[in-house]
Amino acid sequence: MAADDLTDEDAYDRLREDEYLGPIVAEVGPVSIDPAEDAFERLIVSILRQQVSMASAAATRERLFDAVEVTPAGIRAADDETLRDAGLSRQKTRYVNEIADRFAEEAWSREAFAAMEDDEVREALTDITGVGPWTADMFLLFVLGRPDVFPVGDLGVREGLKTLVDHHGENPEMTRGEMTAFAERWEPVRSYAALYLWQVEEELGERAGDVIGE
């Protein structure tokens, strides 16, 4: 089945049969990627979430969205002091400015990125200072809704996978390369697998072991 033809139910049916993820999928039920409509705004939010807690990122997001119009033009029109007052570090202030400049220069939009292959999107975005592989993967997942992205750079995904293999009596201390190789079993719906791995840590918590062991 072509990736573009996949539905949430297709992913659910595919992963429910998996030896490792199956019990989690059955417990949680179907999930949806639910992509954002505003590519620039969602990329800025990903920058805010880098290396901070979700609560801290949410507070900064609220202040930033109250202070400026979160568009390329709005960010470029704001002075650095305004961005810093909203809670952005000096480094992240530089990042959002560079992202705004690049979006304006390239006339990028969600539609422009939608015409690109995954690797083209990664190459374009990671050429911007402050946008690394994790941020590019979040963009592929939560802006473009690509179904087969495995964001191994995400701590929650890695921790979920470690929990999964540990409860199957296997060594959870895999390298990122080994995790990426392991996740090949979930093609062509690795994005959905990632959503379930987040559920292992964030929603199921201490219950995860009981669910996996059923």
Where residue 21 sits, what CATH number does that domain have? 1.10.1670.40
Judgement on whether residues 89 and 15 belong to the same structural domain of the protein:
no
CATH (domain of 130): 1.10.340.30
Instruction: Check whether residue 43 and residue 29 sit in a common domain.
Output: no
CA distance 141 to 97: 23
Beta-strand (E) ranges in the chain? none
pLDDT at position 207 is 42
Q: Are residues 99 and 194 in the same domain?
A: no
* pLDDT for residue 210: 43
Domain stops at, among 105, 126, 142? 142
- pTM of model > 0.85: yes
Same domain? For 156 and 192 the reply is yes
**Residues 64 and 136 reside in one and the same domain:** yes
Which domain covers residue 77, as residue numbers?
39-142
Residue type, 21: L
116 shares its domain with 47: yes
Residues 6+ apart with CB under 8 A from 94: 129, 130
Domain stops at, among 126, 142, 158: 142
- Among 91, 108, 142, the domain boundary falls at 142
And the tokens for 1? 């089945």
| Cα dihedral 61, 65, 67, 71 sign | positive
- One domain, residues 28 and 108: no
Residues 96, 49: one domain?
yes
The CA–CA distances, whole Å, from 95 to 8, 78, 129, 189 equal 34, 14, 6, 31
Number of folded domains that form the chain: 2
For residue range 128-186, what is the model confidence (pLDDT) as tens digits?
999 999 999 999 999 999 999 999 999 999 999 998 888 777 777 899 999 999 999 99
With the C-alpha atoms ordered 54, 35, 47, 74, is the resulting torsion angle positive or negative? negative
The answer to whether 47 and 96 are in contact (CB under 8 A) is: yes
- 132 and 172 share a domain? no
Task: Name the average pLDDT for the chain.
Answer: 90
Q: Tell me the pLDDT tens digit for each residue of 12-56.
A: 999 999 999 999 999 889 999 989 989 999 999 999 998 888 899
